[in-house]
A and B are shown apart, each in its own frame.
Chain A
Amino acid sequence: MARMAGRRTLFAAPVLLAVTFGVFAIAAMSPFDPVKAHAGTAGLTASQEQLDQLRDNLGVDRPFVARWWDWLTSALTGDLGTSSVMRQPVADVIAERVGWSALLAGCAFAVAVLAGTALGVLAARRQGGWLDRCVSSLAYTLEAAPAFWLGLLAIWFFSVRLGALPSGGLTDAGSDTVAFGQVASHLVLPALVLGLSQLPWFFLYVRQGVADALEEDPVRGARARGLAERTVLLGHGLRSGMLPMLTLIGSRVPELITGALLVETVFSWPGIAAATVQAATSVDFPLLAALTVLATAAVLAGNLLSDLLYGLADPRVGFDG
C-alpha cells in the first residue's frame, strides 16, 4: 500500500511537468492576448505605443519554452511568480482562495457520497419500489440539470420565497469578519447544490452495484443460511456494490472542480474557480500554471485515493503490481 502510494507520487512528478509544459504551449497558441487582458477597458483607449510598452514590461513575446523554464526554476525555489491579471503574487492569490474552494468541494463531495450511497442501498433493496422509482427519476433529472440552474432555483426557493438561507457570499454582505456561524449558513446552499449535481452518479452506481450483488450466489447463500437482512445488505451487497463507486470517487474529482466553477459564480463564493477562468482567458501564465498543477495533483490524488479504497474494500484487488 505504502509502496503504491510512493510509486504513484514518483510518477506524479513527470506527469505534472508534462501538464505544465502543455499548458504553456496551449496558452501560447491561444488567440487571447495577455496585454489586452491586463489593460482591460483602459486598453481600448491606450495608444499602440503604450500597449507595446506594456507588452515589453510583461515579457509576453518571449518563446513559451523559455517562459516555462523560468517559471519552473523559480517555482522549484518556492517563488510562484506574480499574477498579471490579479496584480498579486500567485502564492497570495491561491492562499486567499483555495481554502474556501476546498471547503465547498469537500462538503459537496461528502453530501454526494453519503447521500448517494445511502439512497443507492435503499433503492437497490427494493428495485422497482416507490423509493427506487422516485429517486431514480430524480437522479436522471438532476444529471441533466446544469449546476448553475439548480443554484438559481435554490436561491429563488430558499432565499427569496422562504427567506431561510442567505443567497450568496461567504458571510453577510455587510459584515467584514469571517465568523464560523456565518460561513456555515452561507455554505449550506452552494454545498447542497454542488453535492446534488454530483449525487446522481454515486446513487446510480451504488444502486446498480448493490442490486447486482444481491443477485449473486454468495448473497443467496447468506440468505439461505438465514442471516439478517441488514447483514446481507450491508455486509455482502454494499461491500461488493461499493467497488465501482470507489473508482468513481477518483474520476469525479475533475467534474467536481468544473462544477464548483459554476456554483462559485452563482453564489459569489470567493474560491479558486473564478480565478482559474480569468487566468486562462487572460493568458496569465504563472497563475494558470500553478492552478493547473493544483488541479492535476487533485486528480492524481483522487485516483490514488480510489485505488487505495478499492484495495482495502476488496482484498482480491492488489495494490498494483
Chain B
Amino acid sequence: MTARTVRGMATATLAAALITGVAACSNPGGGAAAGPGGADSVVVGIATEPESLSPLLGYGKDGNSKIFDGLLTHDADMKLKPALAEALPEVSSDGLTYTYKLRQGVKFSDGAPFSAKDVVFTYRTILDAKTNNASKTELDAIAGVDARGEDTVVFTLKYPYAPFAERTVLPIAPEHIAGGQDVNSGEFTTHPVGTGPYVLTAWSKGEKLGFKANPGYWGGEPAVKKFTMAVIKDDDVRATRLRSGELDGAILPPNLAGALGDQPGEGHGEADKGRRTYAAKTFDYRNVTLPTHHKVTGDVAVRQALDIAVDRKAMVDKLLDGAGKPAYGPVPTDSPWFTAGTERTHDLDKAKKILDDAGWKAGADGIRVKDGVRASFPLWYTSGDKIRQDHALAFASDAKKAGIEVRTEAGTWEVIEPRMKTEAVLAGGGSPADPDFDQYQLLTSSLGGDGFNNMARYDNPAVDAALVDGRRGGDQAARKAAYDSVQRELVKNPGYVFLTHIDHLYVVNDKWEGLTTQVEPHDHGLGSGPWWNVESWKPKQK
C-alpha cells in the first residue's frame, strides 16, 4: 500500500465521518430563527437548571412555575391569591381542615380537563414513600387529602399549622399523564404537561428551555408568545451574551450588573444603554453558626460579643457593592415580620467589655483565654462560593479585633457536614412566604442536627415555645407576637450571627411594561427574577 492511497483513505474516511456526523445531528427544514428583539419573544439567561420538571419531584414547589399552576399563587407582594382554586381556602375553626373550591373550566395544555382528582393525585404521589422527592418534609402537616366531587378538595392536618395555605402553591400534575409512569424517571419528568401560562416546547439539557404561550390558558393568553431560558452557568459568559444582544435579560452578580444596566433600584432612574437593573429584595441571608457544643461558641458571652463585633454595614458596602442590607436575624429589616428595636450596631468596645466581664482575658498573642480555653474556633465555608468566602474572611477579621480567633477553612458539604456539631459554618437560607418555614427548622431544639436543620444545635426553651405558638396561632397579631419574642431571644442568646441579606440583581432590556420583582427566597429557582410574571408583560408603547 503506498503512502498516497493511505492519505487518500484517511482523508476520505475523515470526510465521510464528518459529513455523516453533521448530517445526523442536523435537522433540515427547521423553522426560521426568532432571536431576541422580536416584539413577542423573550430570552433570559439563568445560572442553574432544574434536574426535573416534574412537580411530583419538587419542581416549582414554591410557586411561579411557568408550566403549572398551584391551587394558590403569590402576587407581587407575596400575598396569597387563588389560582386553580376559585378562592382562598376555608379553614375550620380548629385549624385542622382546609377546603378548596376549584376553578371551573380549566384545561391542561393537552386539552384534558383539570379536576379534583388531579389535586389528590399530586399530593398523594408526593407523600408516597417511594417518590424520591426531597422536599416532602414541607408537607409534613398533611394527614389526608380527599376529593369531594369534581370541584372540591379537602386537606386534613395532623396538627394545626397556620402557614399551611402557603404550601398549596405547589404545582398540580395531570393524573391522566403522570399517573401511568414511573414517577421518578418517567417521561413526564422531562416532558411536563400542566395548566400554566406556558407550554414547554424544547428542553435541550445544559443549554436552554423553550416555552410558548398557552393559547388556552385560563388566565388569558400571554402577550410574550415565546419565552426561552438559556442555561449559562458562568457569570462572565452570561454578562457577555447579554451585552452581545443574544439575551434580553439575565441574573448577574453585583459587579457585572453595575457595568451593564442602570443603577440598581427597582423602577428608578433613567435607563441608559437600553437596559434596566432590577434588585429583588430577599430573605436570602448569610450567617455564621455558633455551635452549642463548642466550648467557645457555646458561651453566651462570646455569642453576644461576636454578634456586635461584626461590622454588617461594611460587609454590605464592600462585599455586596451595596446590594443588600445588614441582617440581625432570619427576618430582613424591611419585612412586616421584623421586630423593631432588635437591630444591633457595630460596637467593638462593648463586645470587648462583655468578654472581659465574662472572664475571657487577653493572652500573650492577643487571643483571649478563659479557664485554659483559647477563644478560637474553625469556620467552614463551601469552596468555590465567593460570597460565602468573603463573608467568612470579613467575619474572622472582625472577630480578631475583639480577641477571638476564627480559623477559616474551605470544603464541600461532604467535608463540612460531619463537623457541624462543634465547628462553625458560613451558612445561608431564607424563605419569604412565612416566618415558620425557615425559623422552625433553623431554631427548634428538637431538630438540632437533624440533616441540615438547626446546624448550630441551638437550644433555647423560650424560642421553642414561641415557634410552636407561631405555627399554631390563628390570628396575625398572635403570630407576630410569637415571632417578636423569637427575635428578642436571639439578641439575648444568639445561636447564629446573621450577617447580611443579599439582593438578587437582574439586568433586563427596557422593552416591556409590567416588570416587577417579588421578595425572593435563598434558593432562587426558575420562577424568581423579574420574569416571575412574564405572562403579564406587555410590549412597551414606543
Question: Which of B126-134, B145-153, B332-340 forms part of the interface with chain A?
Answer: B126-134
Contact between A87 and B237, CB atoms less than 8 A apart:
no
| B208 CB contacts on chain A under 8 angstroms | 169, 173, 268
User: How many Å lie between the Cα of A163 and that of B35 in the bound state?
Assistant: 14
User: How many Å lie between the Cα of A86 and that of B237 in the bound state?
Assistant: 24
User: How many Å lie between the Cα of A59 and that of B453 in the bound state?
Assistant: 24
| A180 CB contacts on chain B under 8 angstroms | 22, 26-28, 30
Contacts A155-B240, A167-B237 given; does A43 touch B26 at CB 8 Å: no
| A103 CB contacts on chain B under 8 angstroms | 21-22, 25
Q: Does A317 contact B (CB under 8 A)?
A: no
Nearest chain-B residue to A187 (Cβ)?
Answer: B22
Contact between A155 and B28, CB atoms less than 8 A apart:
no
Contacts A88-B190, A309-B10, A312-B1 given; does A47 touch B453 at CB 8 Å: yes
Contact between B247 and A40, CB atoms less than 8 A apart:
no
Question: Which of B199-207, B317-325, B388-396 forms part of the interface with chain A?
Answer: B199-207
Residues of chain A in range 126-176 having any CB-CB distance to chain B below 8 Å:
152, 155-156, 159-160, 163, 166-176
| A252 CB contacts on chain B under 8 angstroms | none
Contact of A178 among B10, B27, B231, B414 (CB under 8 A): B27
- Least CB distance from B171 to A in Å reads 15
Contact between A41 and B523, CB atoms less than 8 A apart:
yes
Contact between A178 and B35, CB atoms less than 8 A apart:
no
Q: Which of A51, A57, A172 has the most CB of B within 10 A?
A: A172
Residues of chain A in range 33-54 having any CB-CB distance to chain B below 8 Å:
33, 36, 38-51, 53-54
Q: Does B41 contact A (CB under 8 A)?
A: yes
Fill in one digit per residue for A199-226: 1 if any B CB lies within 8 Å of its CB, else 0.
0000000000000000000000000000
Contact between B206 and A274, CB atoms less than 8 A apart:
yes
Q: Does B226 contact A (CB under 8 A)?
A: yes
| B18 CB contacts on chain A under 8 angstroms | 106-107, 110
Residues of chain A in range 305-321 having any CB-CB distance to chain B below 8 Å:
309, 312-313, 315
- Least CB distance from A114 to B in Å reads 9
Q: Does A67 contact B (CB under 8 A)?
A: no
Q: Does A89 contact B (CB under 8 A)?
A: yes
Interface SS, A side:
helix
Contact between A106 and B10, CB atoms less than 8 A apart:
no
User: How many Å lie between the Cα of A99 and that of B23 in the bound state?
Assistant: 11
Contact of B24 among A36, A57, A99 (CB under 8 A): A99
User: How many Å lie between the Cα of A184 and that of B25 in the bound state?
Assistant: 10
User: How many Å lie between the Cα of A99 and that of B204 in the bound state?
Assistant: 13
| Complex A-B: 27 CB contacts under 8 Å | A31-B414, A33-B414, A38-B134, A42-B134, A46-B135, A50-B136, A54-B132, A99-B21, A99-B25, A110-B18, A159-B240, A159-B246, A167-B246, A169-B207, A170-B204, A173-B43, A173-B228, A173-B247, A174-B33, A174-B34, A175-B33, A178-B27, A179-B26, A180-B26, A182-B30, A266-B234, A312-B6
Q: List the 9 closest A-B pairs by CB distance, nearest first.
A: A179-B30, A39-B134, A177-B30, A180-B26, A42-B134, A270-B207, A175-B33, A31-B414, A42-B135
Apart from A31-B414, A43-B452, A167-B246: 16 A-B pairs, beta carbons within 8 A: A42-B135, A47-B453, A83-B185, A87-B57, A106-B21, A152-B240, A155-B240, A167-B237, A169-B207, A173-B228, A173-B247, A174-B43, A175-B32, A178-B27, A268-B237, A312-B6
